[in-house]
Amino acid sequence: MRIDVVSIFPEYFEPLRLSLLGRAIADGTLQLSVHDLRDWTTDRHRTVDDTPLGGGAGMVMKPDVWGRALEDVLGGHESTAAGARPGRRVLAIPTPAGTPLTQRLVEDLAAADHLVIACGRYEGIDARVAEHFARHIEVVEYSIGDYVLNGGEAAALVLVEAVGRLQEGVLGNPESLAEESHGAAGLLEYPVYTRPVSWQGLTVPDVLLSGHHARIARWRRDRALERTAHRRPDMFTRLRGDQLTWEDREVLARLGWARTPAGPRRLVLREGRAEEAAALSRLAAETFPMACPERMPAEDIEAFIRANLSPGRFSDYLGDGDRYLILVADLAGDLAGYTLSVLPRTVDEPPYAEDVAAVVPIRPVAELSKIYVRASAHGSGVSQALLDATLDALARRTVLGVPLAGVWLGTNARNRRARAFYERAGFTLVGGRRFQVGGRVEDDAVFLRALVAPPS
Measure the CA–CA gap between 357 and 381, rounded to whole angstroms: 32
CB of 130 to ligand SAM, least distance (A): 11
CB of 62 to ligand SAM, least distance (A): 13
Going through 73-163 in order, the beta strands assigned E by DSSP cover: 89-100, 114-118, 138-143
Distance of CA 396 to the CA centre of its chain: 30
Comparing CB distances to ligand SAM, the nearer of 59 and 425 is 59
Beta-carbon contacts of residue 324 (< 8 Å; ≥ 6 apart): 317, 318, 340, 341, 342, 343
Judged by DSSP in three states, 131 sits in helix
Comparing CB distances to ligand SAM, the nearer of 145 and 174 is 145
CB atoms within 10 A of CB 257: 24
Helix 416-424 crosses helix 382-395 at what angle (to 10 degrees)?
50
Comparing CB distances to ligand SAM, the nearer of 96 and 403 is 96
- DSSP category for residue 309: S
Measure the CA–CA gap between 237 and 285, rounded to whole angstroms: 31
Comparing CB distances to ligand SAM, the nearer of 151 and 233 is 151
Comparing CB distances to ligand SAM, the nearer of 56 and 333 is 56
CB of 415 to ligand SAM, least distance (A): 56
CB of 88 to ligand SAM, least distance (A): 22
Comparing CB distances to ligand SAM, the nearer of 127 and 375 is 127
218-248 residues labelled b (16+ CB within 10 A) or e (exposed):
bbbbbbbbbbbbeeeeebbeebeeeebeeeb
Judged by DSSP in three states, 278 sits in helix
Judged by DSSP in three states, 140 sits in strand
CB of 158 to ligand SAM, least distance (A): 8
CB of 64 to ligand SAM, least distance (A): 17
Comparing CB distances to ligand SAM, the nearer of 155 and 448 is 155
Residues lying near ligand SAM in the complex (CB under 6 A): 94-97, 119-121, 123-124, 143-145, 147-152, 155
Contact 367, 342 (CB under 8 A): yes
Q: Residue 215 carries which side chain, given as an amino acid letter?
A: R
CB of 123 to ligand SAM, least distance (A): 4
CB of 169 to ligand SAM, least distance (A): 28
Name the β-bridge partners of 89: 114
Comparing CB distances to ligand SAM, the nearer of 62 and 121 is 121
Instruction: Provide the phi-psi class of 58: left if phi over 0, else alpha when psi is between -120 and 50, else beta.
Output: left
Instruction: Provide the phi-psi class of 431: left if phi over 0, else alpha when psi is between -120 and 50, else beta.
Output: left
Comparing CB distances to ligand SAM, the nearer of 157 and 340 is 157
Q: Report phi then psi at 148, rounded to 5.
A: -120, 130
CB of 140 to ligand SAM, least distance (A): 11
